[in-house]
């Protein structure tokens, strides 16, 4: 039988924890507005994806007879969940009244539902880009159900809308949820054109002020990042590169800086490091490395 816990030791440990709240207040959220729960945001995201890709992420069959019922039921759930998390996010970030935050959250939730047809139009181009860009892709269903790049892009397009409309906290929570699942980190502030394809995807990082044109293809390990910035917090200046239309960037390439523009139709080879732009139609690659072959001793 386990020994009885020493009540005095436990009481002292609790006192020490509470005392640490005064010493390290930067990581507290005491007496503040109720924050959105991660579980609620995750559920909201699942509902949005199930509407964007009907019949893919649900157990029940969706057909012509049940489609309108399914969409209606999911849209109502999205409205209620998004109203709740958005009101909490607005409340935690500002000084508006509860009534004002609730009204703003309600309008934003309705705007998101109305935006879904446009998001689906973009997502269709992303799936088609994957079909065209990966000879191993067998079908659209395989891409939607199993390609991490398409999942990350889908979540980004949802989060990007919320970010543009001024919703704090929630867009970043969404993109970090999918980052954990896919290894692909796209900031919701990044601007991404249509027909975007990330092949394989693990380790891709796309920064907040990145601008990506149409028909761009990235491979795993690509970083579109910022040069080192010191003493600047929440800077709104452009810190990340611009990738113009029809650019392909191969695995492990790193492209940095807000003034860096990769011209349309360019190809950036694997493991290339770029901190300046290149004209349209440029191919950038490393020289062939020098290899040594050492024969095994007999």
154-198 per-position pLDDT tens digit: 999 999 999 999 999 999 999 999 999 999 999 999 999 999 999
- 242 is a domain residue: yes
- 93 is a domain residue: yes
* Same domain assignment for residues 61 and 139: yes
* Same domain assignment for residues 115 and 252: no
- 21 is a domain residue: no
- 294 is a domain residue: no
**The Cα angle at residue 149 between residues 47 and 67, in degrees rounded to 5:** 30
Q: Give residue-wise pLDDT tens across range 117-131.
A: 999 999 999 999 999
pLDDT band per the 50, 70, 90 thresholds, residue 5: confident
Q: Give residue-wise pLDDT tens across range 279-291.
A: 999 999 998 888 8
Residue-level pLDDT at 279: 98
* Same domain assignment for residues 101 and 147: yes
Of the listed ranges 20-29, 108-117, 272-281, the one predicted with least confidence: 20-29
* Same domain assignment for residues 75 and 165: yes
Residue-level pLDDT at 256: 98
- 110 is a domain residue: yes
Domain count, the chain: 2
Q: Give residue-wise pLDDT tens across range 60-97.
A: 788 888 888 888 999 999 999 999 999 999 988 877 88
- 90 is a domain residue: yes
* Same domain assignment for residues 176 and 208: no
Range of the structural domain that residue 217 is part of: 203-229+238-286
- Domain with 173 in it: what CATH number? 1.10.3130.10
- Domain with 253 in it: what CATH number? 2.160.10.10
* Same domain assignment for residues 150 and 246: no
Q: Give residue-wise pLDDT tens across range 204-225.
A: 999 999 999 999 999 999 999 9
Q: pTM for this structure? A: 0.88
Q: Give residue-wise pLDDT tens across range 227-268.
A: 976 655 556 789 999 999 999 999 999 999 999 999 999 999
* Same domain assignment for residues 57 and 138: yes
- Rounded CA gap, 104 and 83, in Å? 9
> H/E element holding 96?
none
Residue-level pLDDT at 1: 41
The tokens for 223 are: 């970083």
Q: Name residue, tokens 């973009």.
A: 122
Helix pair angle (38-52, 170-182), 10° resolution = 80
- Measured between alpha carbons, how far apart are the two ends of the chain, in Å? 63
* Same domain assignment for residues 69 and 126: yes
Q: Which of 148, 182, 216 is the last residue of a domain?
A: 182
> H/E element holding 125?
helix 98-133
């Amino acid at each position: 039988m386990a020994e009885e816990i020493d009540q005095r030791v436990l009481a002292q440990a609790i006192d020490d924890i509470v005392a640490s709240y005064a010493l390290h207040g930067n990581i507290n959220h005491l007496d503040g507005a109720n924050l959105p729960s991660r579980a609620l945001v995750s559920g909201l995201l699942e509902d949005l994806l199930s509407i964007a890709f009907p019949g893919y992420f649900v157990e029940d069959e969706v057909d012509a007879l049940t489609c309108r019922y399914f969409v209606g039921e999911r849209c109502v759930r999205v409205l209620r969940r998004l109203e709740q998390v958005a009101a909490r996010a607005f409340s935690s970030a500002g000084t508006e009244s509860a009534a004002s935050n609730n009204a703003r959250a309600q309008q934003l939730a309705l705007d998101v539902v109305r935006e879904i047809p446009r998001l689906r139009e973009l997502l269709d181009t992303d799936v088609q880009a994957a079909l065209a860009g990966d000879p191993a892709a067998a079908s659209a269903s395989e891409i939607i159900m199993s390609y991490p790049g398409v999942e990350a892009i889908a979540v980004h397009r949802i989060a990007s809308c919320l970010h543009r409309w001024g919703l704090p906290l929630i867009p970043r929570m969404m993109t970090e949820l999918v980052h954990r699942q896919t290894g692909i980190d796209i900031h919701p502030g990044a601007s991404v054109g249509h027909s975007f394809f990330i092949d394989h995807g693990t380790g891709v990082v796309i920064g907040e002020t990145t601008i990506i044109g149409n028909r761009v293809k990235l491979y795993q390990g690509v970083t579109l990042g910022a040069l080192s910035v010191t003493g600047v917090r929440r800077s709104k200046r452009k810190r990340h590169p611009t990738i113009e239309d029809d650019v392909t960037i191969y695995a492990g390439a790193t492209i940095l800086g807000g003034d860096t523009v990769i011209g349309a139709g360019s190809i950036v080879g694997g493991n290339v490091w770029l901190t300046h732009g290149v004209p349209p139609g440029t191919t950038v690659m490393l020289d062939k490395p020098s290899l040594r072959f050492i024969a095994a001793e007999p």
